[in-house]
Structure 1
Amino acid sequence: MIGSGPALAADGASTETAPAEDVTIVVTGEKQDRTLQQTPSSVAVATGRTIVDQNLISVYDVLDRMANVVVNGNRTSFSIRGIDASNVLGGGDGALASVYLDGAVLPKAALVTGPLDLTDIAQVEVFRGPQSTVQGRNALAGAVIIRTADPSYDWSGRARLLLADKTGERRASAAIGGPIVDGQIAFRLAGEIARSDGLVRNVNAGGDADRRKSETLRGKLLFTPAAVPGLRVVATYMHDRHRRGGLYVELQPPYAPEDRVSTSDLIDVTEVKSDIATLDIGYDLGSGLTLKAVGNYSHIRSHYAYDPDHSADPGQIAVIDDPNKTYQQELRLNVDWNWLQGLIGAYYLRDDNRGYFFGATQNLSLRRLGVDQSLLKLGLPQATVDTVINLYGSGVPIVNSLDQPRVTQNHAAFADFTVPITTRLRLRAGLRYDRESQRRGIDQRVAIDKPLPDPAAYPGLGPIIGQINGLLQATAAAATSYQPERTVRYHAWLPKIGLSYDVMRDMTLSLTARRGYRAGGSGLNQQRGQVFVFNPEFTWNYELALRSAWFDRRLTFNANLYRIDWKDQQVSVQLTPGSAFDKQVINAGRSRLYGLEAEFSARPTATISLGWGAGYSRTKFTDFDVGIGQVLQSAAGNEFPNAPRWTLFGSVTWQHPSGLFANINARYRSAFYQSALVQTHRDIRPLTLANAKLGWQGEHLGAFLIVSNIFNVEKPVTSALDPDGRLRGMVSEPRVMGLSFEGRF
């Protein structure tokens, strides 16, 4: 738990006015309403009260404040227990952690800059560890469950205006809801508009490089007809548009990282438009039985235009269009009897990604193609190799286009039950059968766009240049490939078994074992124009959980100790040393992870609340049985990239009866490697950031000073060598101060 105050009611009503004595957090992500203290799974919860008190703007702000959860440098993905939500080693077809918004799964593209702002949000739950039994597809690392505020039959509303200094951020939001037909139909409308100038200055294209803007509009209807007692229907529609610029800056002289200078010849643009509709129907059958049907349709269109090398070298641009249409339907029966609690259900998903397109005009460095390594292997001196490579300038100019249509269908049946064995001992068991089919095709076209160096113009080097030209032309011809649509299928059984024992009142120990899974897939070797197929990967997760409450539940302390064994791990390998494009995904890895999460919350007085969390995560590649391409056995014994060992978070909130308010919170993550192969030193150093919200909150109006990064810590949070040999990356935001004016009724 990261909350500094009381949690919210299970119906998702507004939480800003939650009474101080209500400390019950209801967790819904396992598709059964349980309190946090009754949930042995490792889950961190940010309530609506937490979001308001700590001025959290995005889901990434929530993730940044949770034990063993780390947001990547450009805030486009995250890791749970050291496992990147997208990929650990660039391998795999789907995500490793799923993000759900009101039951609708968000594609990976939406995580880049999608509908993740915390506009009128009731609760965010982050499950750490495999959730494959209940959540199914793409939940090997965990799952993030976002619930927006539901309508109620009491009128309520809220509004906020936020203004910040250095980023030029302007954010205005409002929400209102109440009855249409008292006791039978209610509504809630919420919306937000945001603009920001950003912090990065582009010295070549000119102007602000990371401007941002977004608009969100959401409407919800609640229907509980008097004519059908026990029926509850919630319909939701959301339209969202997010647009952001580029964040890569120069990290080497003549610029300093804190200068936040971009030298690319164009300004990157990422735009995501989302339309999501959800229908949630629940019917109380009586006798402890509830029927639940949740269906949703989402249409998310992503467009990217960016400079592939982030440099001033002109004429290079890459464009990605990634439209995604998803339909999901889940039907389940929940059981709540004295001798049995749980659910049984069925699930269907269709993910239509047939419009995917990638197009680029760029200079491909001969070093990135591995040409220099090939020449050295022929016995040529390094000086001669450098001379030949330099004749091609910044690289080989190519035009590349790739159509990669894909349709994924997933069918599953699942059950999850808790059976009391004695008054203190409970058996927890679950099972899911998951079946997936992927139909995809590939049409890639590659051509050299300009004349190559003339061998006749360079006496003595002519034969070598001629061979390189022939190799480049043959490579472009080989990369041009068409593969008709074909279907691959996968299936898996995903069990869970566990025991919970009540040591005493308000203290429970649980031991759980569960299997995690990600389906296989296929891809394209862009350099060879060849399709490859890889198999599913699996984990076994063993977890010991403690749930405890003390001092009449004014203090809670929860902890999870875990170990994960990962086999048939999907990894990306290079077939030609030095070539960034001659690679494919294979099942070559084995890993072992272990660690813990410990969290507590306390309310020592009526005006002070505390929250604290700590995570320790160790990751280790135990085996790399590659057998082809670049030797990766050297990674055995190494840690996962982008996986810090320690994450810490703390928060203190003071709310005086007069309305005076203060929240101070801080987070820390330790250093980490960025590469799985080269681990001579940890590339990214430790980072500690502190924030504050100070002001006054009356019955209906409030005014606050917001300070993020109080101590103005500016450090690189990600870095990489670009094709031109320069180090570029992203830097933590500087101290930003702002004013927030808030109203509610």
Structure 2
Amino acid sequence: MIARFLLLASVASASFITPGAFAQDAAQPVGDDTAQNVRGEVIVVTARRRQETAQEVPLAISVVKGDSIEATGNFNIVKLQQLAPTLQVYTTNPRNTSVNIRGLGVPFGLTSDGFEQGVGIYVDDVYNSRVAAATFDFLDVSQVEVLRGPQGTLYGKNTTAGAINITTNQPTFDFEGRAELTVGNLNLKQAKAAVSGPLSETVAARIAIAATSRRGTLYNVTSQRWINEQDNLGIRGQLLFRPNEDFSITLSGDYSKQDPECCGTTFVRVGRTQRPLNRQYDALAAAQNYVVPSRNPYDRLTDLDSNLNAGNKIGGVSAKVKWDVGPGTLTSVTAWRFWDWKPENDRDFTGLSIVSKSQNPSQQDQYSQEFRYNYESQDVDFVVGLFGFKQRIDTQGTEQQGSAAAKWSLTPSTDPNNAANKPATLAGLTASNTQWLKADSAALFGQLSWKVTDALTIQPGARINYDKKSGFYQRVVTNAQGQTISCTATPAPGTIAGTTQQCGVYQPQISAPSDSAWNFTYDFNVNYKVARDILAYATYAKSFKTLGINQNGLPLNADNTVNYDASTVKPEAVNHYEIGLKTQFWDRRATFNLTAFRTDIKNFQATVNGGQFGTVRGYLANAEKVRSQGIEADFKIVASDRFTAYANGAYTDAKYKKFTNAPCPPELSGGTLQPSGQAADYSQPGVPGALSPRQCDISGQNLPGVSKWAFSYGAEYNIPVTLLAKDGQAYLGVDGNYRSRWNNNASPSIYTEVKGYALTNLRAGFRGEGFDIFGWVRNVFDVNYIENLQVAPGNTGLIAGQVGDPQTWGGTIKVSF
């Protein structure tokens, strides 16, 4: 690790990560020290729950200003990773979204409501407990701070990997407004507007609205429609009451609606598994005379035959009270948020009616209350606080077998009376799931900054946290006639005995997991101001991710009985080490920051998949040990009023140090299980008819979803011009990003390797006082790339996926007053 650090530090000019990409509008100077140099750029952040400059904060932080987000077209968290390469965001739909930092955060794969995310997402100090609830378009955003590394002391148990702190523009007592209109190919239309001003001498208000629509990028030959479209609407209103300089109340409300026909997949490839050859994808498709529209995913064709929907409603209200009390400030943040999710999916990824219906609508309510007291003095600063959280999620799921299910899922025979040759064997078989989750959490936290000397600061922090989770899951299985079936030797009253084939696909199940835990988090930071603009720091953090429960149903044992031992999942235990250097030079027109880190996790919460239609889609299990380490470097330069540039880079080495009972990848699955008690044999991957290991030891393999190398860059040049009697600047901007290859399966597979890719974007325009007009091209070179891959259930070898956006272009007009 030391050797890598020294090597990369020596070539840091080629591997940079920005602390403030294109932060064009410098914030007001903070303190006399920053005010001494008017040429230097000052970026104010609230990463430590108080206002300070980004270069003063002794942690790795990327800051992206609102103007940069708009100029580069990164209008939500999914797109934000193009500006912050240590951030990884993967999504198959809003609910199944993974937000990771340095390869850690959310277990990669299908989402379960029973676990916590490891990257906390905050909007104006309000915690969004589900990643899906943060997939909204950025609306009237002032800036986004990406805090890298554990933030458990101030941000809570859900931040073992980091936090995303989003700040919106606040109400003003000076009247102002802005509007933006964008049109482009793929029938893109986007409109944004915001207005703010006083209602009286003590009350100000702000309202913002945004709407986005765009044609889909994947053509469904079955429905003859473009799918994976965008159809988003958002509105936010804020009311500020400030009777004096010492007291203020901000009331906020927001609502966001997404209603696209989404999220479909296309055929990507077929890989050999250990199923008998006549039970693998090519043979199964031939048996039903099925031909996929194209085997080239970049033809952007699919033939999915089930309804698709990604209806997503998000919103809430909050009240933030700030009161200067004595030498400090008391802050109270009270919030209620909801999330209403109405999905429909094609579960088999084909145009055949294998799974004819798959939907898991859910509704979430969450309540949170935080009290903080901030104190600042010449020698000591501290923050102390209390946090309470209450959440309930209800889900109603339905999955139904179609007319092609029997021939696809059951072993065929030449006997016409064989079950596989009778569509009615499985057609109409329906699993109806009812589930709920209750989660309660409370915490006491504090962080102290002791300024030992003018240069040396010691910063300890601690948090004690209590969590309680309880859940309920019930699956009722009915046949095509609507009769409830039972899979026990003696059918329960009111049920009939299910057939062997029916019980092999869906089994009734009921579980009610519940657990609670106390956890103690602490960190210790030492930072030293080597010179006026050079800060060195070192951090150790002991963090955790709280316990999890398997909320979407439990896996089955080898004898098809329910494995109740998998009901709960142990908390993660995190040890984190980090050293960093923050510098500014050339009259603060250049910023260079360097960070090296290592994170060790015991009982890592990983998502694993049963691989069959009849088991749960995904469930949690503990991997014994995981390690993530790497180096990040940040560079930005404001060479003059005419030229600004940045370059970003991160090297991330994230591995399973020990995971001995992981699910096997597709190439080692599908065959008869190897004898129990014998050492697993991995010597016949992809050999039809070979025996399959009962589980696989994937120790030493890379974590899914993580690129070892990630870079991004950008530059803008302008010249003063006069156009149509308007003085302004003509400008040309470029930005781009690169990610090296990564694997898209929880257990890395040779079939789910995603190739690295580089994207380049251009923009050119004219701006002056109160206006900005520019044209843009994204993915200039029309690069073909994969955003994610999915292994189809049943171990047939089918790999489906979602391809990235093709070249897009358009124009934007912005006005402000």
TM-score by length of 2: 0.80
1:482 to 501, 510, 525: 510
Structure 1: how far apart are the matches of 2:406 and 2:458? Answer: 60
2:621 to 586, 589, 602: 586
* CA contact 1:8–1:122 (8 Å) conserved in 2: no
What amino acid does structure 2 have at the position aligned with 1:677?
S
Distance 1:139 1:10, change over 3 A: farther
1:122 to 142, 145, 160: 142
How far 1:711 sits from its partner (Å)? 0.7
Range with bigger deviation, 148-157 or 723-732: 723-732
1:744 aligns with 2:766: no
| 1:525 alignment counterpart | 554
Structure 2: how far apart are the matches of 1:646 and 1:678? Answer: 18
Matched position secondary structure for 1:32: coil
RMSD over aligned Cα atoms:
3.2
Structure 1: how far apart are the matches of 2:192 and 2:29? Answer: 22
| 2:190 alignment counterpart | 171
Q: How does 1:246-645 map to 2 (within 5 A)?
A: 246-251=263-268, 254-255=293-294, 256-287=296-327, 289-314=328-353, 316-353=356-393, 355-362=394-401, 391=421, 396-397=426-427, 398-449=429-480, 471-475=500-504, 479-483=507-511, 487-523=514-550, 524-525=553-554, 527=556, 528-529=561-562, 531=564, 532-572=567-607, 581=616, 584-626=619-661, 631-645=694-708
Structure 1: how far apart are the matches of 2:611 and 2:111? Answer: 16
Structure 2: how far apart are the matches of 1:368 and 1:34? Answer: 61
* CA contact 1:444–1:529 (8 Å) conserved in 2: no
Distance 1:719 1:540, change over 3 A: same
Distance 1:589 1:632, change over 3 A: farther
Structure 2: how far apart are the matches of 1:673 and 1:428? Answer: 38
What amino acid does structure 1 have at the position aligned with 2:80?
V
1:39 aligns with 2:63: no
Structure 2: how far apart are the matches of 1:537 and 1:313? Answer: 41
Distance 1:203 1:587, change over 3 A: same
Distance 1:388 1:676, change over 3 A: farther
How far 1:517 sits from its partner (Å)? 1.3
| 1:99 alignment counterpart | 121
1:162 aligns with 2:182: yes
Distance 1:29 1:224, change over 3 A: same
What amino acid does structure 2 have at the position aligned with 1:436?
D
Structure 2: how far apart are the matches of 1:412 and 1:401? Answer: 37
Structure 2: how far apart are the matches of 1:602 and 1:440? Answer: 52
* CA contact 2:514–2:549 (8 Å) conserved in 1: no
Distance 1:691 1:574, change over 3 A: closer
CA offsets 1:680-714 (integer angstroms, 9 cap, x no match)? 47710011001122111121222210110011101
CA offsets 1:385-404 (integer angstroms, 9 cap, x no match)? 9x989647799443011111
How far 1:109 sits from its partner (Å)? 5.8
2:720 to 657, 662, 670: 657
CA offsets 1:363-411 (integer angstroms, 9 cap, x no match)? 5978998x88xxxxxxxxx9999x9896477994430111111111100
What amino acid does structure 2 have at the position aligned with 1:272?
N
* CA contact 1:613–1:649 (8 Å) conserved in 2: yes
Matched position secondary structure for 2:469: strand
How far 1:59 sits from its partner (Å)? 2.5
What amino acid does structure 2 have at the position aligned with 1:32?
R
Matched position secondary structure for 1:309: coil
Unaligned runs of 5+ in 1: 13-18, 373-381, 452-467
Distance 1:572 1:240, change over 3 A: closer
How far 1:90 sits from its partner (Å)? 7.0
What amino acid does structure 1 have at the position aligned with 2:148?
R
1:216 aligns with 2:224: no
Structure 1: how far apart are the matches of 2:27 and 2:342? Answer: 38
How far 1:585 sits from its partner (Å)? 3.2
Matched position secondary structure for 1:77: strand
1:707 to 760, 777, 802: 777
| 2:101 alignment counterpart | 80
How far 1:135 sits from its partner (Å)? 1.1
Structure 1: how far apart are the matches of 2:391 and 2:537? Answer: 36
Distance 1:309 1:512, change over 3 A: same
What amino acid does structure 1 have at the position aligned with 2:158?
N
What amino acid does structure 1 have at the position aligned with 2:27?
A
Distance 1:686 1:137, change over 3 A: same
What amino acid does structure 2 have at the position aligned with 1:743?
V
Structure 1: how far apart are the matches of 2:596 and 2:780? Answer: 33
Distance 1:565 1:366, change over 3 A: farther
* CA contact 2:248–2:321 (8 Å) conserved in 1: yes
Structure 2: how far apart are the matches of 1:277 and 1:627? Answer: 42
Matched position secondary structure for 1:258: helix
Structure 1: how far apart are the matches of 2:197 and 2:736? Answer: 37
How far 1:336 sits from its partner (Å)? 0.2
Distance 1:584 1:318, change over 3 A: closer
Equivalent residues, number: 703
Structure 1: how far apart are the matches of 2:367 and 2:192? Answer: 29
Matched position secondary structure for 2:187: coil
CA offsets 1:232-273 (integer angstroms, 9 cap, x no match)? 221111111112222412335752222211210134111111
How far 1:521 sits from its partner (Å)? 2.4
Structure 1: how far apart are the matches of 2:619 and 2:253? Answer: 39
Range with bigger deviation, 311-320 or 698-707: 311-320
| 1:669 alignment counterpart | 739
What amino acid does structure 2 have at the position aligned with 1:655?
N
* CA contact 1:123–1:147 (8 Å) conserved in 2: yes
Structure 1: how far apart are the matches of 2:419 and 2:635? Answer: 59
What amino acid does structure 2 have at the position aligned with 1:550?
F
How far 1:138 sits from its partner (Å)? 1.7
Range with bigger deviation, 326-335 or 695-704: 695-704
Matched position secondary structure for 2:79: helix
CA offsets 1:445-478 (integer angstroms, 9 cap, x no match)? 1234489xxxxxxxxxxxxxxxx9854455568x
Matched position secondary structure for 1:72: strand
Structure 2: how far apart are the matches of 1:109 and 1:423? Answer: 41
What amino acid does structure 1 have at the position aligned with 2:315?
D
* CA contact 1:481–1:530 (8 Å) conserved in 2: no
| 1:379 alignment counterpart | none
Distance 1:262 1:582, change over 3 A: closer
TM-score by length of 1: 0.87
* CA contact 2:137–2:232 (8 Å) conserved in 1: no
* CA contact 1:707–1:735 (8 Å) conserved in 2: yes
Distance 1:633 1:722, change over 3 A: closer
CA offsets 1:507-542 (integer angstroms, 9 cap, x no match)? 111000112211112223155455412221111110
| 1:720 alignment counterpart | 790
What amino acid does structure 2 have at the position aligned with 1:613?
N
| 2:756 alignment counterpart | 686
